Amino acid sequence: MDSAAPMTTPATVEEFRERLAELSDSLPKRLRQCADYIAANTDRIAVSTVAELAAGADVPPSALMRFCQMMGFSGFSEMQKLFREAYSPGWPDYSTRLKNLKETGAGSPAALLAEFVEAGRLSLEALAKTADEGSLAQAVAVLAAAETVHVVGFRRAYPVASYLTYVFEKMSVPSMQHDGVGKLDHRFALRTGDALVAITFAPYSEETLALAADARARGLPVVAVTDHLTSPLARHANAILTVPEVDFGAFRSLSATIALALSLAVAVGTARGEG
Amino acid sequence: MDSAAPMTTPATVEEFRERLAELSDSLPKRLRQCADYIAANTDRIAVSTVAELAAGADVPPSALMRFCQMMGFSGFSEMQKLFREAYSPGWPDYSTRLKNLKETGAGSPAALLAEFVEAGRLSLEALAKTADEGSLAQAVAVLAAAETVHVVGFRRAYPVASYLTYVFEKMSVPSMQHDGVGKLDHRFALRTGDALVAITFAPYSEETLALAADARARGLPVVAVTDHLTSPLARHANAILTVPEVDFGAFRSLSATIALALSLAVAVGTARGEG
DNA sequence: AACAAAATGGAATAAAAATTCCAAAACGAG
DNA sequence: CTCGTTTTGGAATTTTTATTCCATTTTGTT
């Protein structure tokens, strides 16, 4: 055990992180789990016991001990000492911190960030309150039954469409994004047995509406992700998912929309996997 | 010992301070010392032992124990627990909860949505708590001074990159997304006076790292948006923005990342408009 | 498939910390 | 000054926590 890395003890949090980065590529499974969990929860080391951290990382305590030693400490206590000394609590009050951020200057980047964080949080809460389980279940059913899932969304809906496609791919759901690159129109790709997810918000995108109408005309099921039940997209849709997104200035946080898209994709992927 | 104050246990840091204020007038010498020291070092309770605090207050450990009991706790451990938990509410760990939920088979789309909403909300709160105003201001300064802002991000960072580019465009900031369409490499497009925003999370994308390294080698400023200060992207960056995002399996909510990107874009747009 | 090396989990042990208890000291009232 | 009461310090005890060790499993190699 004296072969590999220099066995100097990290003396600062900075050094600790460096060592962690060095190691984490060359670690076996359990120790890797430790490394990942510790990397994500570094701030809890100071106030936790071996048993608690081990439980969090889902490893036995002895694995965590070994991890501490790989990091160059004599044991957990020595490692914890480093963090206890460096500990200065950024007190947990989220709302206080938010207020501070806003007040540090009306136009400052930090103040903007605070506003967008707040907008995102409100959007998510609104989504949780208003989401219609029935429509969601229906949308999942429709997409789970489809051969290929087509996804369309432009402008601010575009990031959502691309993330949705990405997650579908990750979950082995055959999917295709209609992104209009090169002004190409891929509507021929819509085949019997497929389904379409169309995403658009006011001001509604012509291309998206057109593709949805086309799909509907051919008898393919359409899932609409939009802002209101009265959206022009609604008339073409079999299932309508509305997202209450709170704007700040001219810009949407997209938080709620992404959360909805993600749920949809994972639910569909799971349903297919089981079916 | 049943005479004096109400024997309810303080449940919040707030209540703790109230009780402390009530008591400190009516305490004998040694206990008063405890009260004073604790009042001045409340934040050390979470990370200290009885012996350490007692030494700090210059009293024997047993005096400190008595003090804890006067405060309405069963002992020191119970008191410490309050401060350890207050440091980060939402314990036990969120990812453990998700795992449990997944295993208990409550995989309905609505339950899934609730979890993603919660993940997004936590991510946003964490972002508000940990965001570094300095780095953010620096990133804005760098980008505001650039001719053209280049943006790169693949896989799950891709939606963020595309939204960032979209908002830049809306705000009349010359920008260009490197999206690798057609396996084209647009690195020649990086010109003196430009700047790059590189976005990647573990597992880090080769292409993004390569482009960042290239830009840096040519002396262009690079703003990194990543998950951790130890990210391989960090070594190529002039300003590092870290985003604490809560994962569900392989999928990020992206809420925090989008909020950060949005703030960045709007702040840069505003700064340029004024300049 | 058989072997050696590495990794792992859990029970056993050691160390450290919290908590209790009581004899001695300080205090206050008469 | 004296007696009863409160407060105090520290040693003894209990509980919790860290750490080690080794039998078993897993992994990688030939």
Under an 8 A CB cutoff, do B109 and A159 touch? no
Of A164, A167, A7, A169, nearest in space to A72 by CA: A7
CA of A72 to C1' of D26 (A): 26
Question: Residues in chain B, how many?
Answer: 275
* Chain B residues with beta carbon closer than 8 angstroms to that of A116: 259, 262-263
Record the tokens describing residue A100, joined without a space: 């501070």
Mean pLDDT value of segment B77-82: 94
Provide the positions of strand C that have an atom within 7 A of a protein CB: 6-11, 16-22
CA of A35 to C1' of C12 (A): 27
B61, B51 Cβ separation under 8 angstroms: yes
Record the tokens describing residue B187, joined without a space: 């690195």
The two most distant CA atoms of chain B are separated, in Å, by: 81
Query: What pLDDT band is residue B90 in, cutting at 50, 70 and 90?
Result: very low
A13, A77 Cβ separation under 8 angstroms: no
d(CA A30, CA A153) in angstroms, rounded, equals 42
Mean pLDDT value of segment B209-223: 94
pLDDT at residue B3, rounded to an integer: 39
d(CA A7, CA A201) in angstroms, rounded, equals 57
d(CA A150, CA A221) in angstroms, rounded, equals 11
* Chain A residues with beta carbon closer than 8 angstroms to that of B113: 127-128, 131, 136, 259-260, 263
Q: Which residue of A22, A59, A251, A257 is the best one to mutate when testing the B interface, meaning the one whose CB has the most B CBs within 10 A? A: A251
The two most distant CA atoms of chain A are separated, in Å, by: 71
- Which one has a higher pLDDT value, A152 or B273? A152
Q: Which residue of B242, B258, B264, B274 is the best one to mutate when testing the A interface, meaning the one whose CB has the most A CBs within 10 A? A: B258
Percent of chain B with pLDDT over 90: 52
Record the tokens describing residue B212, joined without a space: 């960042």
Q: Which residues contact A151 (CB under 8 A, 6 or more apart)?
A: A161, A164, A165, A168, A175, A176, A177, A178, A196, A197, A199
Nucleotide with smallest C1' distance to residue B75 CA: C19
Q: Is the pLDDT of residue A63 over 50?
A: yes
d(CA B143, CA B174) in angstroms, rounded, equals 11
* Domains identified in chain B and CATH numbers: 13-86 (1.10.10.10), 123-274 (3.40.50.10490)
Nucleotide with smallest C1' distance to residue A65 CA: D19
A241, A260 Cβ separation under 8 angstroms: yes
A2: closest CA of chain B, how far (Å): 25
* Chain B residues with beta carbon closer than 8 angstroms to that of A264: 109
d(CA B120, CA B250) in angstroms, rounded, equals 14
Mean pLDDT rounded to a whole number for chain A: 87
d(CA A87, CA A68) in angstroms, rounded, equals 19
pLDDT at residue B80, rounded to an integer: 94
The partner residue sitting opposite A92, judged by closest CB among B87, B228, B270, is B87
Record the tokens describing residue A126, joined without a space: 């609104």
- Residue that has been written with the tokens 């055959």 in this structure: A174
Q: Is the pLDDT of residue A3 over 60?
A: no
pLDDT at residue B132, rounded to an integer: 87
The predicted-structure confidence for B217-272, as pLDDT tens digits, reads as follows 999 999 999 987 777 898 889 999 999 887 665 677 899 999 999 999 999 998 88
Q: Is the pLDDT of residue B7 over 80?
A: no
Q: Which residue of A266, A270, A272, A274 is the best one to mutate when testing the B interface, meaning the one whose CB has the most B CBs within 10 A? A: A266
A133, A225 Cβ separation under 8 angstroms: no
The partner residue sitting opposite B166, judged by closest CB among A21, A139, A156, is A156
Of A159, A160, A149, A143, nearest in space to A225 by CA: A160
The 3-state secondary structure of A147-198 reads CCEEEEECHHHHHHHHHHHHHHHHCCCCEEEECCHHHCCCHHHCCCCCEEEE
pLDDT at residue A102, rounded to an integer: 60
Percent of chain B with pLDDT over 70: 87
pLDDT at residue A90, rounded to an integer: 55
d(CA B166, CA B148) in angstroms, rounded, equals 14
Establish how many alpha carbons lie within 13 A of residue A59's alpha carbon, considering only the half-sphere containing its beta carbon: 22
* Chain B residues with beta carbon closer than 8 angstroms to that of A253: 255, 258-259, 262
Choose the weakest-confidence range: A112-121, A230-239, B228-237, B253-262.
B228-237
Question: Is residue B226 classed as helix, strand or coil in its secondary structure?
Answer: strand
Mean pLDDT value of segment A69-75: 93
The predicted-structure confidence for B114-165, as pLDDT tens digits, reads as follows 888 888 988 898 888 888 889 999 999 999 999 999 999 999 999 999 999 9
Q: At what angle do helices A50-57 and B94-103 cross, to 10 degrees?
A: 50
pLDDT at residue B104, rounded to an integer: 47
A265, A223 Cβ separation under 8 angstroms: no
Percent of chain A with pLDDT over 70: 88
Under an 8 A CB cutoff, do A170 and B251 touch? yes
B63, B55 Cβ separation under 8 angstroms: no
